[in-house]
Structure 1
């Protein structure tokens, strides 16, 4: 397996448990990020629709405010110098309100009108055009409130857009990079552990075959030596019911001559000897 598509880990049971634990954590974080991105999208659509409607209203309000200002100039002449001379405290202030949207900190602006502040231009237009002056004041107050709302919505849309892009990058990174690497790492560990198990199984079979072969050779030597002693008259009588000695010798000779104690592979990939000694018991097996 390509090492670039997996993490460099050692194939062990502990590492397999660790990779599975990481997969659970990554899946949990992936689901949370997807929910966060969806919530930010919904809030972003709401803010965008409010921003579009506020922008349309703002254009109409500003147009009416400047029309009323033009009417004052036509009635009373230039009054810029008078306004600049009578500037005092602001009657409309902007309040910053912190807001948390699915883990994203945003700041909304709210216009607050202070009624207790003295209006230095409350007597403007008493001689002529007082009605026009009052209408212009109201129009520009409404324009300031709308501008503050527009600025707040625009700031919220910008922050939400950046947060959505960052969250989607994280989601795509987890989905396209981290999760495939974890799956490939788990597959690699499983393959390596299965391969080690097959090698250990084959090693045990070879050890058992070698042990049986050495026992058969030792028994054959004893049998041959015992047979030679019988010819000189020193061999004991055969026990009743025991198989003939020449049959045992032939069987052991066939075991030693059998080249099938070497292993072959089957279709399933397991190693199996072609032939086994006929006198094997379950207690003799090491595996």
Structure 2
């Protein structure tokens, strides 16, 4: 009797497993074709030299990786990438949080401002980059016109090595604000209003409630936004390609753009694959560190 019961249970488990696999099969196929295979192919190519068509020619082992970390251009790309992330992540989150707090207030016509604050989410990277390309124009750009009106000398926003990365960062912050704002606003609106009512009864001030209620209760949303913003920052490409093409003097040659140039300009697919693997490991480490140290400060309701 016991043996029959065990056999039936194993049969049910097997049947349920097969059903689960069948339900997951479309996703497994898609992920295999568009994610797992390209990932394994990239790792494979990173150990080879390739011809212009991408076919492997000579196995070089770790030589592609060694050359990268001894290349001054790649090390500069590495530094520029981290500076870029450092510029845009805090600024994007702080500005978006400020706008979300404002838009969460019960004010007349606040819906118009919510639409304006989130509007950048509906603008493509190409359109936004062209828009900022005109703003940064050294002769007729609005920014230099404002500086001239204030009696200050114009800046070569996209041609001066000291300002190019800052200019691209400003563009990226502006582009990312819409999405981040919407997520944070949704997080603010999900906070239980009874907490604020209790604080009002106790005579708590606005900034006390902001510090003791809003930020702690918003911490899961902030954690999500921080993770996504960091990953997106490491993967920035479109605005670099349109605004600076990695220049001047490789100041904006971020790792993603360096991968593109190695693969599709220099046709060095092995070196490009090695950079892609390094970028993947870098993002993976940053995300793992965030979950290890950042999640401890998240207050889940």
Query: What's the TM-score bracket when you normalise by the shorter of the two chains?
Result: under 0.3
Larger radius of gyration: 1
Identify the structure with bigger relative contact order (alpha carbons < 8 Å, sequence gap 6+): 2
TM-score by length of 2: 0.20
Higher helix share: 2
